[in-house]
Structure formats: structure tokens, C-alpha cells
Amino acid sequence: MKKQSLLSQTALLTATNAVVRAIGFGMRIWMSRMLGAESMGIMELASSAHMLWLAPVTSGLPMAVSRYTAQAQAAGDETRARQTLQAGKRLARIIAWPMLALMLVLSPWISRILGDSRTLPTLLIYLPCLPILALSAVYNGYCYGKGNAVVPAATELVEQLVRFGVCVAVLTALPAMRAAYSAAAPALGAVIGEGVGLIIAVLMLRGARPRRSEKIPKGLTKKLWRLAFPMTCMRVSNTLMRTVNAALIPMRLRVSGLTAAEATARLGMYQGMAMSLIMLPAVFTGALAMVSAPAITAREADPSAMKQLLWRVLWPAAAVSLASMAALWIGAPFCARVLYKQAELEPLLRMLSPCVLLMGIQQVISGLMAGLGQQRRALYASLTGSLVSVGLNYVLAARPELRLAGVAIASMVGLLITLLMNARALRLAIGRAELRYQALMV
């Protein structure tokens, strides 16, 4: 597998993400018109729970595999890199299959907890994603650690194309389905698309299979888990907070005077429409975060090189995020009235626009911290910001004069707290690396 430069990897992933996001954005617009706000709300409720149970298999594992693979790559140890891939796959299976059985039993109960039993078909269809995405996450982490983004880019593009194709085929062929079943069409598309993507990754990485004499070193699987666990907890907490918000926001909106149907439609407007626009800069910042994590791992012994890398990735992330924030503010009327045909979405988009800047910078800082093994501190920051956001949602969403504006305020405050805590932790981590380097030079 040929190693690519940081710029080449970022450019490839950014281009792929742009196409994938464009397809996904088009799919959301098409689905919002095809399904309506109520079915979109059902889909978002189920999707929030789905993302929660995916977190243990898709969050910490790729970062852990990426870090260990990058260390092996820096040392020129190809055998160790292949062993890391195999240990990651073993850990993915250990986690994914028991979770699949557990979620199969708990899905009916989860649908009741979400407050809408119509989410059950979507929850059940999503279940096969657990083992599929667990293995895909490990393969992606291995590729990033090796400094090559071709496989992740190819699989992501194919997944999205297949997902959209399946959604269009199902909803076009069966346009008169009830809301509970029409909301499950995107889940079916996700399962089939991710399965195809995994097959492509396995075929492209046949050369990474270990030789018979290359057994997984004792303790490597446990080391991967210890490194992955804090990042997993962070993703679980973030997704749990999203799930809590998905259930809490409609509940508090009903307290403000809206009917149950209106409250669910507002949730679909916020999470299914507005947040898809807020996340657009992740086309670039997400790619930058993924490739910068193993890059800073390879520079841990040289604080000067770490600082250079830090500024090389943070300035572009800030510039792109700031430009995206301005574009969203200016383009809010077009997005609300032309794309989504929801005029009341316009003020919400403008209120949420600062989140674009905060989220873009935070994404890259989080990647750098993962590369330095600072997942535990990132967990504390993320949990603090999420808890503050949930608390503010409880208070502000119930006020008739605020409603979704209160939700926007809660999102901004939570993101700002997380960003400031992570920035401080990153500065301290680099400071400690400088002290160690100076001690070695004495």
C-alpha cells in the first residue's frame, strides 16, 4: 500500500466527502419531500438510537488501530502493522456480535423509550450494520495508519451511491407505505450499502492478510481496547446525548404549546434538515481530522514537528469553517425556501450558523488529541459540553418564545465548552511532550 502525503490524503478524502455529502444532501432533500416532516422525525428518532449502539464498534476502534499501525509504519515493521489489523478485526467481532443479539432483544423496549413505537421497523432493519461497520471501521483505521486513504474513500463513495439507489427504488416502488415503514427505507439502504462497501475493502486489502507464522502478539487486542475505550465512551456519551435530545426536544416542545405531530415535525426540521447543513464543513475538517491523527502520532518524538503540524491543520480548518459559516448565514433563505420548502427554517439556520465554526475546529482538535492518545481528556470535555447542552434544551425548548431557537442556543453553548476544554488539553499535552524532549537532550 503506497503511502500518501498529508495533503494528498486530505485532498482525496475531501473530494470523496464532497461527493458523498452532495449525494447525501440530495437524498435528504428528496426524502424530506417524499416522506414529509413526520416520517423524517420518525427516521431521526430511530437513527439517533442506531448511532448510539454503533458507537462501541465504530468510534474508538479505528483511532486505536490507526495509532498502532502508524507506530509500526514509522518503525518500518510491516508484520506488526498486519498483526494490528488482525487484532482489530478480532476485537470488532468480540464487541459486535454480542451487541447484535442484545439489541435484537431490546429494540421493542427502545422504541417505547423513544416515545414512538413506529420506530421499531427501522431499529430492526438497522441491526446488521453492527458487525458490518465494526469490520469496516478497523479496515479504515488500518488504512489511515498506513498513510493511504484510497480504500476508505472508495468504500464510502460506493456505500452512499448504493444507499441512495436503494432508497429511491423502495420509496418509488412503494409510495403508499405507512409512515413507520417508509421511514425504514433509508435503514435498508444503509445496510445494503455498507455491506457492499465492506466487500470492496476486503478485496482491496487482500495483501494485508498475515502469513501463517504471524500470530497476533499476546496482549495486543487488550492494548487496542484500552486505547479505544475512552474514545468509545466519548462517542457513546455524545450519541446518548443526541438520543436523549431526540426524545427530549419534542417532549419539551409539547410543553411550549405544540401538538405531538408539530413537535415531531420540528425535530425533523432541526435534526433532519438544519443539522445536515451545519455538518457540511466536515467534508473538509473530517478528512483533515482523520489523516492528522496518525500524522501527529508519527511526530510524537519531535515537539517542533508536532507544533508545525498543529498549525498546518488548524489554520485551514478555521478558514474553511469560517467561510462555511458565512455562506450558511447568507444562503439561509435559499436553503429554507427553495431546497427544503420550509420558510420557518430560515431563522433557525442563521441562529445555528456559529455552530459551523465551532464544530469544524473542534473536529480537527479531537483528531489531534486522539493521535496523541489523549482520548480520556477528550471524553471529559465532550461529556461536559453535552450535559450542559441537554440541561439548556430542557429549559429553553419549553419556552414558547424560543422553542427551536432555544435548542440552537443550547447547541452553541455545549460546543463552545467542549472546544475550549479540548484546546486547553491539547496545549498541555504538547507542553508535556516538550518537557520530555528537553529532558532527553540534557
Per-residue pLDDT tens for 331-358? 999 999 988 888 889 999 999 999 999 9
**What is the C-alpha separation between 357 and 51, in angstroms, rounded?**
24
Do residues 4 and 147 touch, judged by C-beta distance below 8 A? yes
Count of CB atoms within 10 A of residue 21's CB?
18
Counting residues of the chain whose pLDDT is more than 70, the rounded percentage is 96
**Where exactly are the structural domains of the chain?**
6-441
The residue-averaged pLDDT of 272-287 equals 84
* Nearest residue to 61 via CA among 129, 151, 138, 132: 138
What residues contact 284, with CB distance under 8 A and at least 6 apart? Answer: 10, 14, 17, 316, 317, 320, 360
What is the DSSP secondary structure assignment for residue 226, as one 8-state letter? H
Per-residue model confidence (pLDDT) at position 228: 84
* Nearest residue to 271 via CA among 54, 53, 48: 48
Per-residue model confidence (pLDDT) at position 98: 92
**What is the C-alpha separation between 157 and 163, in angstroms, rounded?**
10
All three cell numbers of 392, joined, read 439548556
Residues 420-427: contacts with CB under 8 Å, at least 24 apart: 421/377, 421/380, 421/381, 421/384, 421/385, 422/362, 422/365, 422/366, 422/369, 422/377, 422/378, 422/381, 423/365, 425/369, 425/374, 425/377, 425/378, 425/381, 426/310, 426/365, 426/368, 426/369, 426/372, 426/374
* Nearest residue to 230 via CA among 378, 345, 107, 113: 378
Per-residue model confidence (pLDDT) at position 42: 80
pTM of the full structure = 0.74
All three cell numbers of 108, joined, read 421493542
Task: Inform me whether the pLDDT recorded for 328 exceeds 70.
Answer: yes
Helix axes 150-173, 129-145, angle to 10 degrees: 150
Per-residue pLDDT tens for 83-112? 899 999 999 999 899 999 998 998 899 888
Per-residue model confidence (pLDDT) at position 210: 63
Categorise residue 375: left if φ over 0, alpha if ψ from -120 to 50, beta otherwise.
Answer: alpha
User: Using 50, 70 and 90 to split pLDDT, how confident is the model at 161?
Assistant: very high
The distance between the two most distant Cα atoms of the chain, rounded to a whole number of Å, is 75
Task: Inform me whether the pLDDT recorded for 213 exceeds 80.
Answer: no
Per-residue pLDDT tens for 378-389? 888 988 999 999
**Under DSSP, is residue 146 helix (H, G, I), strand (E, B) or coil?**
coil
Per-residue pLDDT tens for 373-413? 787 888 889 889 999 999 999 999 999 999 999 999 999 99
Per-residue pLDDT tens for 169-206? 888 887 667 767 888 888 899 999 999 999 999 998 88
In the Cβ-directed half-sphere of 103, how many Cα atoms lie within 13 Å? Answer: 25
All three cell numbers of 314, joined, read 488548524
